[in-house]
Amino acid sequence: MSASALVLAAVLALRLPAAAEDAEKLFSAGQQAYAAEDYERAVSWFEQAVQIQPSVSLYHLWLGRACGRRAERVFFTRAIGLAKRTGAAFQKAVELDGSSIEALNDLLDFYLQAPGMVGGGEEKAPPLAARLARLSPAEGHRAQSLMLANKKDWAGAEAELRRALDIEPSKPGRLLELASFLSERGRAAEADALFDRAAGLAPDSPEYLFARGRHLVESKRNPETARQLLEQYLQSPRRPDDPPPSQVKALLKKLG
């Protein structure tokens, strides 16, 4: 826990938070804890922010993310409850802000990945994909790709990612999504070409550094370049929701 977060905890412990400013400070502390992979503390901070400002979609979104990460690290019995809270928080975030592409995407991912016993279910995904398409055609194609990939329709999923890239050809994220998809299918040369295009647009972006570094590790090629990219990623100005350091260190460990 950072020194600033400790100071915040001490200050807020002396009084009952009741203002939007307090909620924002709690939210910021939650993001710091999340970035540090202290998901238990992050859940606590986000819960407090939600209690003060229950109508803020973003607070519910991050509470869901923290609950989801926490669920990955606890015993099965506790994970079930946390997974249910994850879905409920994402649903609330969407309910409060139906135009939030972030919230819609997180809820879509939850429906596709989580079992029905905790609120997941691929049958719930199409309406969200339709909403995303209305907000952003490219996001709509990405959502369709995720649903098709969930059914192991790899050709259909690839076609949808290419449609998204056709709409936003200069967006590095679209190139990286397709490159990563092709890499996972064992099509390294095609993936390399897309990674090269992304490097031309944003060579120092955390998104690019991680995606290409992981690609090289998983394809067991150019280990020194992979190490350089991943170590550069760890030093880059990452966002709290970027891949955590532990995931990167696990990749580096594969390099020996």
Does residue 181 have a pLDDT over 50? yes
Single out the residue of 142, 229, 226 nearest to residue 178, CA to CA: 142
Task: Tell me what pLDDT residue 152 has.
Answer: 98
User: Within a domain: residue 46?
Assistant: no
User: Within a domain: residue 92?
Assistant: no
User: Within a domain: residue 122?
Assistant: no
User: Within a domain: residue 14?
Assistant: no
Task: Tell me what pLDDT residue 8 has.
Answer: 58
User: Into how many domains does the chain fold?
Assistant: 1
More confident residue, 21 or 140: 140
User: Within a domain: residue 12?
Assistant: no
More confident residue, 76 or 5: 76
Please name the residue ranges forming H helices in 1-53: 3-13, 20-35, 39-52
Please name the residue ranges forming H helices in 168-222: 172-184, 188-201, 206-218
User: Within a domain: residue 136?
Assistant: no
Task: Tell me what pLDDT residue 20 has.
Answer: 81
Does residue 1 have a pLDDT over 60? no
Record the tokens describing residue 169, joined without a space.
Answer: 């050809």
Record the tokens describing residue 17, joined without a space.
Answer: 């938070």
Does residue 10 have a pLDDT over 90? no
Domain that holds residue 221: 169-256
**Cα 73 from Cα 42, distance rounded (Å):** 14
Confidence band for 157, pLDDT divided at 50, 70 and 90: very high
Task: Tell me what pLDDT residue 14 has.
Answer: 46
| Mean per-residue pLDDT over the chain, rounded | 93
CATH number, domain with residue 235:
1.25.40
**Cα 217 from Cα 178, distance rounded (Å):** 17
More confident residue, 205 or 6: 205
pTM: predicted TM-score of the whole model, two decimal places: 0.90
User: Within a domain: residue 238?
Assistant: yes
User: Within a domain: residue 108?
Assistant: no
